[in-house]
Amino acid sequence: MSTTVTAEQFLATSIELATANVLNSGGPFGAVIVTADGRAFEGVNRVTASNDPTAHAEVTAIRNACRELGTFDLSGATLFTSCEPCPMCLASALWARVDRVFFAADRHDAASVGFDDAVFYEYFENDNRDALMPVAKLELGDPQAPEALQPFNTWNTLDSRIDY
């Protein structure tokens, strides 16, 4: 007899992963990627455990799924996460072409225990973002043939390129 795992069950699993991860020297975040054909790949936050600020639960789940499946494209997949994805995780899900995201706790719940998710959302919504981290375009070389375009020009002429 086959049993269908519901969205609520996958979300509950992400919360269980998050809680267990706290007791395993990780941050309180867990995630599950479920492919269109029902394969599930888990991830937990390993930022401090692996000295990797990008090792959020969602990114770890995406990396695990992509490595196991041998692809960079998770079209059709759903991301279940114990907490609303931060901007980096949302962008990662977009780049992975994940179809949809379900989360449990939100950015304000995360802020209540000291995490900066809400602060980083404001970075993208706020005109005064330079106060947190200035980002500037720097001109290099001949304005008629900017060095900055060299990689794109090379990419554009490469027949063997793999678009993503």
Ligand X SMILES: Nc1nc2[nH]cnc2c(=O)[nH]1
User: Is 122 part of the annotated catalytic residue set?
Assistant: no
Contact between 61 and 31 under an 8 Å Cβ cutoff? The reply is: yes
Query: What is the identity of the amino acid at 65?
Result: A
Judged by CB under 6 A, the stretch of 67-75, 85-93, 127-135, 147-155 that binds ligand X is: 85-93
Contact between 137 and 146 under an 8 Å Cβ cutoff? The reply is: no
Give the one residue of 13, 21, 45, 78 binding ligand X; rule: CB under 6 A. 45
Largest distance between two CA atoms of the chain: 68
Residue nearest to ligand X (CB): 56
Quick check: 85 binds ligand X (CB under 6 A)?
A: yes
Least distance in Å: CB of 35 to ligand X?
Answer: 20
Quick check: 10 binds ligand X (CB under 6 A)?
A: no
Contact between 42 and 32 under an 8 Å Cβ cutoff? The reply is: yes
Quick check: 33 binds ligand X (CB under 6 A)?
A: no
Contact between 48 and 88 under an 8 Å Cβ cutoff? The reply is: no
In b/e form, how buried is each residue of 91-102, taking b as 16+ CB within 10 angstroms?
ebbeebebeebe
Q: Which of 58, 84, 139, 147 does the annotation list as catalytic?
A: 58
Quick check: 57 binds ligand X (CB under 6 A)?
A: yes
Least distance in Å: CB of 123 to ligand X?
Answer: 14
List of residues contacting ligand X (CB under 6 A):
27, 29, 45, 56-58, 81, 83-86, 89, 110, 115, 117
